[in-house]
Every structure is written in C-alpha cells, then in structure tokens.
Amino acid sequence: MSEFTESIVLFDGVCNLCNGAVNVLLDLDKYKRLKFASLQSEYAKNLIQSKSLEEKIRRIDSILFWDGKEIHIKSNAIIEICGKVGGFWKILKLGYIIPKSLRNIVYDLIAKNRYRLFGKRESCRMPTPELKERILG
C-alpha cells in the first residue's frame, strides 16, 4: 500500500485559528475519516516533497487538504474538508457554486490576518494519547 493514502488536513501548527479549526474538526469527524498534520511537521514536509507539491502550494501556509490522491488549496480545501466530515457539513460542498476567485479573496483575507486577529502559539500542538493515531507527526 502506498504511503499518504489517507485524508489529511495540513494546518499551520502555530496558528490559533488553525488549531481551533482542528479541534472543531476532531469533534465533528465522528467516523474519524480525517488525519491531521501540522505544516511544520516532518510528516507534512515528506508528503509535500514525495508528491512534488511544492509548486502547487507555494506561499500557502494555513490549511491544505490531501484527499489521498490530490492536494486541495485555499477555499477548495475548506469545502473538501467539510464534505469529508459529512452529515450537515456536507451541504457546504454547495460552496463550489460561488466562483473560486471570490471564495479565495475571503480565504486570503482571513489567512493573511489570522495571526493578528487570532494570535499564534510558540510551538505546534502535542497530541493527547487519545489523538495520537489522528495527529500525524
């Protein structure tokens, strides 16, 4: 079996907004479909390098989504993550109706100001024993 075949949310491990989003996703993902890795981790760096994703994700440093086959960036990542969580959240897949350029303006505005608005941590989060299988290092 090939490495990196799971659905993985790649997030900025020092961003309070990103960490908050991960906490919400951990609660919402009842079927444990998602795994998580901070962009600062060796795991994420290996995934990005092994799949030659450097050019596609250049200058994106907040949240990305690897679905096991391809990388989703910016607003597409958020929509795909919500679809993977399922349930009520799957309705957010309708976000694809909104032109990508408009969605990404909002995404970029939030991403650019996330540290100023939500703060930042000194280091990446450490998984609790219960979350070790879902938080990849």
Distance CA 19, CA 78 (A): 14
Does residue 137 sit within a domain? no
Does residue 130 sit within a domain? no
Does residue 136 sit within a domain? no
Does residue 112 sit within a domain? yes
* 92-98 average pLDDT score: 95
Q: Which tokens is 40 given? A: 């600062």
pLDDT of residue 3 exceeding 60: yes
Does residue 27 sit within a domain? yes
Does residue 134 sit within a domain? no
Residue located via tokens 């079996």: 1
pLDDT tens, residue by residue, 17-36: 999 999 999 999 999 999 99
- Position with higher pLDDT, 88 vs 125: 88
This prediction's pTM: 0.88
The domain total for the chain is 1
Does residue 114 sit within a domain? yes
Beta bridge partners of 10: 37, 64
| φ, ψ dihedrals at 54, nearest 5° | -55, -45
* 50-65 average pLDDT score: 88
Does residue 82 sit within a domain? yes
What's the domain range around 71? 8-124
